[in-house]
Chains A and B, each alone.
Chain A
Amino acid sequence: MRALVLLRLAARSLGRNLRRSVLTAAAMVLGLALLIFSRALSDGGHEQWIESAVRMGTGHVAVQAPLHLETGRLEHRLDSSAVARVVGALDALPNHDAVRTWTARMSVDGLASSAASAVPVRIEGVDPLREASFSDVGSKLQEGRYLESGDRLHAFVGVELARRLELDVGNRFVLTAQSAAGDVEGQLVRVAGTFRTGVAELDEGLVHVPIETARSWLGTPGAATTVAVLLDTSLDTERVESQLAAALDDDDGIRVMGWREAAPDLDSAVRIDDYGDYIFHIVLFAIVALAILNSVLISVLGRRREFGILQAMGLTGAQTGIVVFLEGLLLTAASGVLGVVVGFLFTWGLFRDGLDFSALMTSDMSFSGSVIDPVVVPFFQPRQLVVSAWSIVIIGTVASLYPALRASRLDPAEAMKFEQ
């Protein structure tokens, strides 16, 4: 009963001081909306980085032989039976819908040589059809065409590599790498097409060849160095990773990794960017907290007489403090809900198709094997919305504690001398 009375008093006080309440709430709503906008853009940017990088690399989930990530050597590969098991497990996943596609790759470091020059390259044997729907390389076509089903002695190369080797579409060059037997083997291929991704390391050093050609040349029939799995969003990674590992019975010869483990550079970049965001959010929270503290404290100091009356009527000091605390709590709870709605509507309503930062970028920016798209599409994570709202409520609650303490310690007789 008393709790309801105190709650009612708190609500009435907020209503009575409407301008102050609205201004304080506005600070919190604005802070939360800004937080949600910033978080959604940040998460959207990260999602694009991840998407771009995993398409060019190991997928959201990578399946490899143990030690392949560390050594990159051909001896650490999935043999044909392991590849068949992985593919079977992927098809049988309980949430198969989260898997957009997968592709098997046979990757090896080698040398590309022409009459003009020799350049160290990363050679990737790919299934042309699967790879076309997996990686972005095919869509970055400059000349010629991407690999097609039925191609055997064709290669798709970066424009910078073609320039250094002085190759045009249709020209032949030699790929050399160490085979599974340990011998250095050469393979003559013909340029089917060239690509430009904007990432120097890819444009200068990546060669796609048909996977069957690579298997035959390197003496690894049916094998793959990586089975890369592309998911709908990176949020599904851990779930699919653990389900796939379980489906493979935690086979010692097969290693299932999420993109954070498979692409540590990308993971570091996302984490570092997140830390920057956290600092921004802490500053934002501090500003919001000070606004609340200032508002509630001024309210307490200006209402000493009122609190004195309450205590003269029979309220204890603690109950008086609770009234003030409840005011802060009500204000932050209402602001929290409103802030989430405003933040979501503002971000989604105005920027659902993305916010274009190209004016701030003088040229292609890339890292960890992917190009940063200047158009960032906001990405809402339900968890982040909840965390943001709770953060504001907690900040508001904590900021109300001190004023509540001040109110609880007022001397009622002295407080009633105060002119309102």
Chain B
Amino acid sequence: MTDLSVRTEDVWKIYPQEPEPVEAVRGITLEIESGDFVAMAGPSGCGKTTLLNMIGGLTDATRGRIWVGDHEMTRMSPKERARLRLDHIGFVFQAYNLLPVLSALENAEFTLLLRGVPAAERRRRVHALFDEIGLEGLADRRPGRLSGGQQQRVAVARAVVGEPALVLADEPTANLDSAASASLLDTMERLNREHGTTFVFATHDPRVMDRARRLIRLVDGRIESDERDAPVRPGETHAPATSTG
């Protein structure tokens, strides 16, 4: 797997609105090491989703620079960013955001399909992953016929099946009950531990913050605090982190 660290340098995001521009992200500088399991927490409107979207190249920074591995996201064309996302970045969204026209299996294999992975190999990888995360027997179901927890696990499967180096997860547990949240986080922790995938969460869910080895708190678009633990490398085990409050 590609070793992808994330680095931002004085990143700003300003939305030109009337009567005054909105500064959603204000000069954030941080570095996330490859293989880390990081939560960016804060109240609604603190800029965590915007920062996540800028790291993933879904939206442009107004100022500053962002690197994902050796790629300077802020200098890449939309096409180059799309290619980088396809090859190296997985997304998990609060609202699952599965494609309603595709089955669970087709949703999960979508990035592999775009990468040109042969059908047999796609199916093998997705079925193995589905078995691993408790989705066996649900491959042919459309999203509308899955529970919230099942949909979110399909979304996680879609994000990680291509073995991306970086997974950006925006409020992945917001619509899930405690049991489903715990199960999902177990899955993601395991993927982080076993495959070395870097996970970056935008969340205000204490359950996610509890599991994170590094917690970055944002307030009004700025970093208020940054508490870190040692990142877990592939093959290592991880002791549950203590909540940093």
In the complex, A305 Cα to B93 Cα: how many Å?
A: 12
Encoded as 1 (CB less than 8 Å from any A CB) or 0, chain B from 85 to 114 comes to 111000101000111111000000011011
B82 at the interface (CB under 8 A from A): yes
In the complex, A354 Cα to B93 Cα: how many Å?
A: 63
In the complex, A317 Cα to B158 Cα: how many Å?
A: 20
* Chain A residue nearest in CB terms to B90: A313
In the complex, A305 Cα to B99 Cα: how many Å?
A: 9
CB-based contact A16/B100 at 8 Å: yes
A5 at the interface (CB under 8 A from B): yes
Interfacial chain A residues near B110, Cβ < 8 Å: 313
29 contacts between A and B (CB under 8 A): A2-B114, A5-B114, A12-B101, A13-B101, A16-B101, A309-B93, A310-B99, A311-B58, A311-B82, A313-B85, A313-B111, A314-B85, A314-B86, A314-B111, A315-B114, A316-B78, A316-B79, A316-B83, A317-B78, A411-B58, A411-B59, A412-B59, A413-B50, A413-B53, A413-B58, A413-B59, A414-B59, A416-B93, A416-B97
Contact of B101 among A9, A316, A317, A413 (CB under 8 A): A9
CB-based contact A312/B56 at 8 Å: yes
In the complex, A316 Cα to B53 Cα: how many Å?
A: 16
How distant is B81 from chain A, measured CB to nearest CB, in Å? 9
How distant is A406 from chain B, measured CB to nearest CB, in Å? 16
Top 6 A-B pairs, shortest CB-CB distance: A314-B86, A413-B59, A12-B101, A413-B58, A413-B53, A316-B82
A314-B99 contact, Cβ under 8 Å, with A2-B116, A412-B58: no
Interfacial chain A residues near B87, Cβ < 8 Å: 314
CB-based contact A312/B79 at 8 Å: no
How distant is B55 from chain A, measured CB to nearest CB, in Å? 11
A361 at the interface (CB under 8 A from B): no
How distant is A156 from chain B, measured CB to nearest CB, in Å? 75
In the complex, A2 Cα to B50 Cα: how many Å?
A: 30
Interfacial chain B residues near A413, Cβ < 8 Å: 50, 53, 58-59
In the complex, A412 Cα to B82 Cα: how many Å?
A: 11
Encoded as 1 (CB less than 8 Å from any A CB) or 0, chain B from 63 to 82 comes to 00000000000000011001
Interfacial chain B residues near A12, Cβ < 8 Å: 101-102
In the complex, A314 Cα to B78 Cα: how many Å?
A: 10
A1 at the interface (CB under 8 A from B): yes
How distant is B123 from chain A, measured CB to nearest CB, in Å? 15
In the complex, A315 Cα to B113 Cα: how many Å?
A: 11
A94 at the interface (CB under 8 A from B): no
A306 at the interface (CB under 8 A from B): yes
* Chain B residue nearest in CB terms to A13: B101
Interfacial chain A residues near B83, Cβ < 8 Å: 314, 316
CB-based contact A5/B58 at 8 Å: no
| Chain A residues proximal to chain B, CB less than 8 Å | 1-2, 5, 9, 12-13, 15-16, 305-306, 308-319, 411-414, 416
| Chain B residues proximal to chain A, CB less than 8 Å | 50, 53, 56, 58-59, 78-79, 82-83, 85-87, 91, 93, 97-102, 110-111, 113-114, 116, 158
Interfacial chain A residues near B85, Cβ < 8 Å: 312-314
A313-B101 contact, Cβ under 8 Å, with A1-B116, A2-B116, A414-B59: no
* Chain B residue nearest in CB terms to A11: B101
* Chain B residue nearest in CB terms to A315: B82
Contact of A313 among B53, B78, B79, B86 (CB under 8 A): B86
CB-based contact B114/A314 at 8 Å: yes
CB-based contact B114/A306 at 8 Å: no
Interfacial chain B residues near A2, Cβ < 8 Å: 114, 116
* Chain A residue nearest in CB terms to B103: A12
In the complex, A316 Cα to B181 Cα: how many Å?
A: 32
Interfacial chain A residues near B116, Cβ < 8 Å: 1-2
Contact of A306 among B56, B58, B99 (CB under 8 A): B99
Interfacial chain B residues near A310, Cβ < 8 Å: 99
> Which of B98, B99, B102 has the largest number of chain A CB atoms within 10 A?
B99
In the complex, A318 Cα to B80 Cα: how many Å?
A: 12
Interfacial chain B residues near A315, Cβ < 8 Å: 82, 114
In the complex, A315 Cα to B84 Cα: how many Å?
A: 10
* Chain B residue nearest in CB terms to A2: B114
- Contacts A12-B102, A311-B82, A315-B82 aside, 18 further interface pairs with beta carbons under 8 A come to A2-B114, A2-B116, A5-B113, A5-B114, A13-B101, A16-B100, A16-B101, A309-B97, A312-B91, A314-B85, A315-B114, A316-B82, A317-B82, A319-B82, A412-B58, A413-B59, A414-B59, A416-B93
How distant is B152 from chain A, measured CB to nearest CB, in Å? 14
In the complex, A313 Cα to B59 Cα: how many Å?
A: 14
A15-B59 contact, Cβ under 8 Å, with A316-B78, A316-B79: no
Interfacial chain B residues near A412, Cβ < 8 Å: 58-59
How distant is B164 from chain A, measured CB to nearest CB, in Å? 10
* Chain B residue nearest in CB terms to A420: B100
In the complex, A306 Cα to B86 Cα: how many Å?
A: 16
How distant is B105 from chain A, measured CB to nearest CB, in Å? 14
CB-based contact A313/B91 at 8 Å: yes
In the complex, A118 Cα to B225 Cα: how many Å?
A: 118
Interfacial chain A residues near B53, Cβ < 8 Å: 413
Interfacial chain A residues near B111, Cβ < 8 Å: 313-314
How distant is B97 from chain A, measured CB to nearest CB, in Å? 5
CB-based contact A313/B100 at 8 Å: no
In the complex, A412 Cα to B100 Cα: how many Å?
A: 17
In the complex, A313 Cα to B168 Cα: how many Å?
A: 12
In the complex, A416 Cα to B170 Cα: how many Å?
A: 12
In the complex, A306 Cα to B111 Cα: how many Å?
A: 15
CB-based contact B58/A312 at 8 Å: yes
In the complex, A13 Cα to B114 Cα: how many Å?
A: 17
How distant is B60 from chain A, measured CB to nearest CB, in Å? 9
In the complex, A316 Cα to B86 Cα: how many Å?
A: 10
* Chain B residue nearest in CB terms to A15: B101
* Chain B residue nearest in CB terms to A419: B95
In the complex, A9 Cα to B99 Cα: how many Å?
A: 10
